[in-house]
Amino acid sequence: MSTPTSTYPRLFIGGSWVEPSDPELLDVISPHDQSLVGRAAQARPADIDRAVAAARASFDAGVWRLTPPAERIAVLRQFNALREANAERIADLTSREGGAPRWFTRAGQSGLTRQANAYLKAAEEFAWEQTLAPSGPGPGPDSAPRVRSVVRREAVGVVAAVIPWNSPFSSATSKIIPALLAGNSVVLKVSPENSLTMGLLAELLERVGLPEGVLSVVPADRATSEHLVSHRDVDKIAFTGSTRAGRRIASIAGERLKRVSLELGGKSAAIILSDADLTKAVAGVKFGSLLNNGQSCIAQSRILAPRSRYEEVVTALKDLVESLKVGEPSAPDTFIGPLISPGQQERVREYIRLGIEEGARLVVGGPQVPEGLERGNYVTPTVFADVDNSMRVAREEIFGPVLVVIAYDDEDEAVRIANDSEYGLSGGVWSRDEEHALAIARRVRSGTVTVNGASVAFDGPFGGFKASGIGREYGAVGLGTYTEYQTITV
């Protein structure tokens, strides 16, 4: 077993590294070969209580909430620059800890910059306070309008931000940056699998000079997470994760009337129209459906192909998947790395077995572990054809490198199949006619739809329809979800 390269024996609570209530450290294991990547302390309910108390005290005292927006923006801009300066270190640790290919974790750093810059721009232009034109009569006999309204955007309070393991830096910054820009105090709860990368995040945030108590970053298990979101001193819950967990969090928020935003699962469709450039569409599937080893909520894992070109699409996808290098995440030519854990590996393999049992045609792949990679959490990338949209492999989020190809007869049927899902997070349309693709995209009931592989825009709202979530992230809309309106009439 290799020597650990990262150790975080303390918890980052209220801006300081403190001794955990439980001194036992978690071993963080490499998904590639089960070697030891590092060790980290884990939060228990007593530690959560301490973090929430620090957040509550700092918020009520106004040490950050009453700081002018321009000063808050300057602090978060400093953090963004510090993160950029540590991009290589972040990418390396994220890859070793989570199994994502190294090229992907490095390329993702530019996305983090665009995400942060969109929030910072939104904060600079945000209507933190505005006075409305006088309206309505004042009291007394004088009926002339003399009531004016001051409308303010006030911080919500103490925010519990809970994120998943599949894209830790993106999920973390998509919540803490707008929450802090709005003046909130934040307890960021991260997955045990991300204990090391999120320890590094805490190191960077420690250096930007946030007031005491404003921010905590704590890895914890599910039971401790529920203690956090149920805490009476938490005002808002911001969650990214599974739809099942989201339902539980929504019920807790409803019982306690906490503000809540949820970015949940997906089973998104890529609609390949009959006139599409198939070479470009298949390249788009590579990056839109299989990035991060298929462990992405926005993965377009249902490929909808016109019956007139169905076998052509299936063959092209077969060739694509067979060309992808599966292996060690650090290798520059690796496209598919290991899944996050043995449990996730077995879950995906079980879905592949299920697809075969349901009668789908196995085009490439299968439940076998790739040869020579048996020590890691590897899954053979798989394509199923002859899939009916009623099959479980077409309806349930697999969260791995598994694609299903569904035939349609006309565009109305393609839209119907795309919308025939409990989810509505992402989607794509491919066509040589951009305006026609846009018209089809408008009919898809999904929070984000890309045309011909366009990248997600961080200045526009991101989130889901239906069981894919409540609320939106990114840009001005995402910033606004961390504020309350206050109207003062004078």
**350 in active site:** no
SS3 of residue 454 by DSSP: coil
Q: Which residues have C-beta within 8 Å of that of residue 179, sequence separation ≥ 6?
A: 159, 161, 186, 238, 482
Which residues pair with residue 27 across a beta bridge?
39
> Token pair 């960077």 is at which residue?
204
Burial class (CB in 10 A: 0-12, 13-18, 19+), 242: middle
Q: Report the C-alpha gap between 225 and 490 in whole angstroms.
A: 43
**DSSP string for 247-293:** HHHHHHHHHHT-EEEEE-----EEEE-TT--HHHHHHHHHHHHSGGG
Q: Side by side, which strands form the sheet with 450-451?
A: 361-364, 382-385, 402-408, 302-306, 269-272, 427-430, 450-451
Between the CA atoms of 205, 206, 207 and 213, what dihedral angle is there, to the nearest 10 degrees? 100
Q: Which residues have C-beta within 8 Å of that of residue 372, sequence separation ≥ 6?
A: none
Please tell me the number of Cα atoms within 13 Å of 74 on its side-chain side: 7
Burial class (CB in 10 A: 0-12, 13-18, 19+), 140: exposed
- Pick the catalytic residue from 97, 193, 226, 263: 263
**263 in active site:** yes
- Are 258 and 265 in contact by the 8 Å Cβ rule? The answer is no
Cα 457 to Cα 81, 136, 413, 433, 477: the distances in Å are 20, 41, 28, 21, 13
The percent helix, strand, coil of the chain (3-state, each to 5) is 40, 20, 40
Q: Report the C-alpha gap between 293 and 100 in whole angstroms.
A: 7
Q: Report the C-alpha gap between 326 and 292 in whole angstroms.
A: 12
Question: What b/e readout covers 150-186, taking b as 16+ CB neighbours within 10 angstroms?
Answer: eeebebbbbbbbbbbbbbbbbbbbbbbbbbbbbbbbb
Q: Report the C-alpha gap between 425 and 267 in whole angstroms.
A: 8
- Pick the catalytic residue from 226, 297, 397, 411: 297
Q: Report the C-alpha gap between 221 and 223 in whole angstroms.
A: 6
Q: Report the C-alpha gap between 301 and 144 in whole angstroms.
A: 62
Q: Which residues are tagged catalytic?
A: 263, 297
